């Protein structure tokens, strides 16, 4: 594991290479209406599987690109090899697609031009088993889940990623280099005002916050530790205004709404809201709706936030769409920029389902992409959309 003192070598370890061949499908070019990116997380060579999406949300294979690193599999992971949210992130402002290589301890950045990926860059993350990425403005942070756990910052420039000297921080955990899925941190996020870096720790039941300086550096050496209102905090999302942070909690499939204060302390705005499903881990916003992936029973829950910031289920049974026997192992979720379509990874089935978002918050299935790496020794995890 590379500690903070070795960060001077991180920039030198940057590998910038020309893009490998577009893969078995052949890229369709930048003319696609939309693109959906799926991280294969293959142990012998991580790849990004690209799909072109049309105006109706349907998907068509458009290419496969090597990240230049290896995927990973956490110890005793039941369906989700990385046990995290945000392992693949598309940043619309920079046109950059970021992917973790958990088995290599690296982060790969691509330039995305529609469904084409180019100018690959590979960076050392400074720690073991990177599993989540946060981007806000020109700052990106990667979370390393292995060992003591850590975060490392990067600046997004026109030439690619540049490590932020002095940004490395330890989380003080006690994991092995390849962590257990239930003790690894769940996600790293940057608050919409760019003032705080937030990390969920599943095993410690804490939400840890590093207040950030204007230059993106953490303002403190150790995180501000907040006890989670619900057990096993996992995914993080924010409302449309950016003033409310929602955290999905896996133990009882609940969502708690918080305010993140400037000093890193959290204020509970709404107590844990249960959805009646099993093992809620993933949570993404689509307009004023939120969608959660319940991996325990392979369902998707819909939530609605009203003008007062009050969160409620879109229906009494907590289901945004009927469950399907062909869509098992629901894990990560991506939402298109216009919030019209939601894409859900099914790890056990090796598929991605696409849904149209209806006005009442229900989801109507419009497509299924097949043939992706299904969960076995490892499996796909990480999905992003433009």
CATH number of the domain to which 366 belongs: 2.130.10.10
pLDDT at 21: 34
Q: What is the pLDDT of residues 2-32, one digit of tens each?
A: 444 333 333 333 344 433 333 333 333 344 4
What is the rounded distance in angstroms from the CA atom of residue 299 to the CA atom of residue 301? 7
Q: What is the mean pLDDT of residues 299-311?
A: 97
Which of 18-22, 162-166, 223-227, 296-300 is predicted with the least confidence, judged by mean pLDDT? 18-22
pLDDT at 377: 83
- Alpha-carbon dihedral 324, 115, 46, 128, rounded to 10 degrees: -100
What is the rounded distance in angstroms from the CA atom of residue 73 to the CA atom of residue 383? 17
What is the rounded distance in angstroms from the CA atom of residue 386 to the CA atom of residue 30? 12
Residue 219 has pLDDT above 90, yes or no: yes
Q: What is the pLDDT of residues 71-86, one digit of tens each?
A: 999 999 999 999 999 9
Q: What is the mean pLDDT of the chain?
A: 92
Q: What is the mean pLDDT of residues 292-311?
A: 97
Q: pLDDT band for position 33 (50/70/90)? A: low
pLDDT at 18: 36
Q: What is the mean pLDDT of residues 324-333?
A: 96
Q: What is the DSSP letter of 8?
A: G
Residue 66 has pLDDT above 60, yes or no: yes
pLDDT at 354: 98
Counted domains in the chain = 1
Contact criterion met (CB below 8 Å) for 375 and 383: no
Residue 350 has pLDDT above 50, yes or no: yes
pLDDT at 5: 39
Give the range of the structural domain holding residue 143, as residue numbers without chain letter.
4-385
Predicted structure pTM score: 0.92
Residue 309 has pLDDT above 70, yes or no: yes
Q: How far is residue 175 from each of residues 124, 149, 201, 313, measured CA to CA in Å?
A: 20, 8, 12, 35
Q: What is the mean pLDDT of residues 97-106?
A: 98
Q: What secondary structure does DSSP assign to 278-335, as a single string?
A: S-EEEEEEETTEEEEEETTTTEEEEEEE-TT--EEESSTT--SS---TTS-SEEEEEE
Q: What is the pLDDT of residues 139-189, one digit of tens each?
A: 999 999 999 999 999 999 999 999 999 999 999 999 999 999 999 999 999
């Amino acid at each position: 594991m590379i500690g903070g003192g070795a960060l001077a070598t991180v920039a030198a370890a940057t590998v910038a290479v020309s893009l490998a061949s577009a893969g078995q499908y052949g890229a369709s070019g930048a003319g696609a209406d939309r693109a959906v990116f799926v991280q294969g997380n293959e142990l012998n060579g991580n790849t990004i599987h690209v799909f072109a999406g049309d105006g109706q949300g349907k998907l068509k294979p458009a290419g496969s690109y090597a990240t230049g690193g290896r995927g990973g599999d956490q110890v005793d992971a039941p369906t989700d090899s990385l046990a995290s949210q945000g392992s693949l992130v598309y940043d619309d402002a920079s046109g950059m697609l970021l992917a973790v290589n958990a088995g290599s301890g690296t982060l790969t950045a691509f330039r995305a031009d529609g469904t084409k990926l180019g100018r690959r860059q590979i960076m050392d993350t400074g720690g073991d088993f990177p599993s989540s990425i946060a981007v806000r403005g020109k700052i990106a942070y990667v979370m390393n889940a292995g060992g003591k756990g850590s975060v490392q910052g990067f600046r997004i420039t026109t030439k690619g990623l540049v490590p932020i000297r002095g940004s490395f921080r330890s989380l003080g955990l006690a994991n092995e280099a390849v962590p257990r899925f239930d003790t690894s941190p769940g996600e790293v996020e940057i608050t919409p005002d760019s003032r705080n870096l937030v990390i969920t720790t599943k095993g410690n039941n804490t939400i840890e916050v590093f207040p950030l300086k204007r230059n993106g550096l953490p303002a403190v050496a150790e995180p501000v530790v907040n006890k989670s209102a619900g057990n096993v905090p996992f995914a993080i999302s924010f409302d449309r205004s950016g003033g409310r942070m929602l955290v999905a909690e896996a133990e009882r499939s609940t969502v708690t709404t918080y305010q993140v204060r400037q000093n890193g302390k959290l204020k509970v705005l709404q107590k844990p809201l249960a959805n009646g499903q099993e093992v809620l881990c993933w949570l993404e916003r689509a307009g004023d709706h939120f969608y959660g992936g319940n991996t325990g029973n392979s369902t998707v829950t819909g939530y609605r936030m009203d003008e007062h910031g009050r969160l409620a289920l879109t229906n009494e049974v907590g289901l945004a769409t009927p469950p399907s026997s062909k869509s098992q192992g629901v894990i990560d979720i991506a939402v298109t920029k216009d919030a019209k379509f939601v894409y859900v990874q099914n790890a056990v089935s090796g598929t991605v389902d696409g849904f149209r978002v209806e006005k009442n918050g229900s989801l109507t299935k419009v497509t299924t992409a097949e043939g992706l790496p299904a969960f076995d020794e490892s499996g796909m995890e990480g999905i992003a959309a433009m």
